[in-house]
Structure 1
Amino acid sequence: MTRPLPARRSVSASRAGWVGLPLVALPVLLLAWLIIYPILSAVTSTLLVARPDGSSTLSLASYHFFFSDPYSRANLWITLWTTCVCGMLLLVTGLPIALYLRFARGRLSAYVQGLAIFPMFVPSIILSYALIRTIGPNGAVDVLLNAAGLPKLPSPYLTPWGPVIGLVWDNLPLTVLMLTAGLGSIPKSSIEAARDVGASPLRVFRSIILPRMGNSLLVTMSFAILGIFSSFTLPYLLGPASPEMMGPFMQRTFSDMNDPVNALTQAVVTFGFCLVFGIFYVRSIARNRGGS
């Protein structure tokens, strides 16, 4: 007669789960205090309007002003445009580098990996100054073109393309690292078997690699989009004064215009768009844990 081992294991697992709760209590409390409470406070502050008698009433006036104001809509649009363009450029640039690093061997691949990761160790303020001195008016590019007798090119500095260049450079290392990690989870035997039957590199990528990269691509793009959408330093220093991305827009509304309610409204709207991409990321992680 066999013992009821599954029941004992389930009881042990349940006890281990209860024992683990105190270990995560402090991080959960910090998360609630530093993240969840400020979010709820910001939403409440934008929805409640004070009356002359001291009471408060529910109102959507601040959100109505944001979505009816042409300047606010233009800033939201330029933020969405910059995020989408940077996301596509990161994918187009980072995926070939990750594929090369996954399958290449030798010293050259080590140099390529070092160059791809190098922007991670450059602060955003230093990167902004370097780009201004390189692609800005009378920068290094203009000096070289003038020395070669060629006409000047329009500078992307203080245009919507200035933040795009800086944000792609700044987010490329994390994109390459995450895509390389995703490629590392693909069994090499599957790729070698496809090559043995005569599959071309394009067919291997389309039929073997790409179908197994869906989760890695989703997680990578979620991280990149969340970072780009909420960026401040690079859009503030490289972007145009009007329209401006949501990060500089919120800072200027709060400090220069002394309008905390509208600044909070802009923050809540920004959080709402970021929440959509965050949900995709959380669902992807939950799906992987459920499958495992």
Structure 2
Amino acid sequence: MSKKLKQMLAAYGLVLPSFLTVMLVVAWPILTAIKTSFTDPDTGGFTFDNYKYFFETPRELTNILFTLGIVFLTVALAIVLAYLLALYLRFVKSKVSRLIGNLYLLPRFVPSMVAVYAMITVVRDSGLLNRISQLFGGDFKPGMMYHASGLVTMNMWFNIPFAALMITAGLGAIPDSMIESARDVGASKLRVLRSMILPLSMKDVVIAATFVFMSNVGSFTTPYLMGGNYPKMLGIVLFDQFNKYLRYERAAAMSFIIFLICSVSAGVYIYTNLREKEWEK
């Protein structure tokens, strides 16, 4: 046996335990769920009915469109606000920016259940905002509970710090000397932002957007506590099919639908990383 072959076998031997673990705890459940999603609960045969139910039933189709709308709006707002925050933390040198830089990640350490309940006490119609308005003779009712606006607002709490962390790291890799050189030759701040900072940080923006997208498609805690009875986000639809209606085949189909939606974002992430050299150029 040649030395090269021995080295190759040794390398595969070291990788094999991790590979088998991944296959056991990740790949096998996914394959089992896919098989279940194509199973007729009455006959045990092959069927597409579990998928047709979600795309042909108006109520379930509305749930899918509602979820995508919430997710895309969350991604857009979170990335824009996170980018502005990251720009401020990266290029503004002041006591306030340093203080914000030390505090903006705190929401990531608050348990999701605690954060959602805290938001509920503020935004519900009898919450803190309403009570403050009553002190001035008003009766302000935000109407954010059981509404899309409440879901998006709560999503901002979780996603802006995470996205800002990733984008700030990307902005930190831009040399100050490059920006100073552009300013020395007469480039305006807007020109520097448009022609230098934004292109150099776009990769990190795309990656942050993919993670925000995937984390919200199947979210459960926020829509369960703040969402309405209709329409529902897909995480709640999956929960209902599995626990309330005991339709395990439909639950498996919904799991695979969520997986397919997330795989689009995952494909963008992989493509972005494969073009790392082009981004650097």
Fold in common (TM above 0.5): yes
Decide whether aligned partners of structure 1 residues 154 and 110 sit closer, same or farther in structure 2, where only a CA change above 3 A counts.
same
Question: Are 2:240 and 1:249 aligned?
Answer: no
Equivalents in 1 of 2:7, 2:90: separation in Å? 39
- Do structure 1's residue 174 and structure 2's residue 165 form an aligned pair? no
Distance (whole Å) between structure 2 residues aligned to residue 17 and residue 197 of structure 1:
55
- Aligned residue pairs, count: 279
Q: What is the SS of the residue equivalent to 1:154? A: coil
Separation in 1 of the partners of 2:172 and 2:251? 43
Q: Percent identity?
A: 31
**Aligned residue for 1:5?**
none
How far residue 13 of structure 1 moved from its aligned partner, in angstroms, is 10
Letter in 1 for 2:231: P
- For residues 119-158 of structure 1, what are the structure 2 equivalents within 5 Å? 119-158=107-146
Deviations 1:205-230 (A, max 9, x none): 10001111221111100001000112
2:15 alignment partner in structure 1: 24
Shift of 1:58: 2.8
| TM-score, structure 2 normalization | 0.92
In the alignment, structure 2 segments of 5+ residues that lack a partner are none
Structure 1, 192-201 or 43-52: larger mean CA deviation: 43-52
1:184 Cα deviation after fit: 1.5
Deviation at 1:239, TM superposition (A): 1.1
CA distance in 2, matches of 1:49, 1:126: 40
Are the aligned partners of 1:161 and 1:239 in contact in 2 as well (CA < 8 Å)?
Answer: no
CA RMSD, Structure 1 to Structure 2 (Å): 2.4
Tell me which of 26, 31, 34 is aligned to 2:25. Answer: 34
Give the secondary structure class of the aligned counterpart of 1:58. Answer: coil
Give, as a single letter, the amino acid of the residue that structure 2 aligns with 1:194: A
TM-superposition CA deviations, 1:84-130 (whole Å, max 9, x none) = 11001101210011011111224322211233211101111001110
Report the CA distance between 1:64 and its aligned residue: 1.2
Corresponding residue for residue 246 of structure 2: 258
Q: What residue in structure 2 maps to residue 212 of structure 1?
A: 200
Normalised by the size of structure 1, how large is the TM-score?
0.88
User: Do residues 230 (structure 1) and 218 (structure 2) align?
Assistant: yes
Deviation at 1:188, TM superposition (A): 2.2
1:28 CA drift (Å): 2.5
CA separation of 1:51 and 1:71: change in aligned 2, threshold 3 A: closer
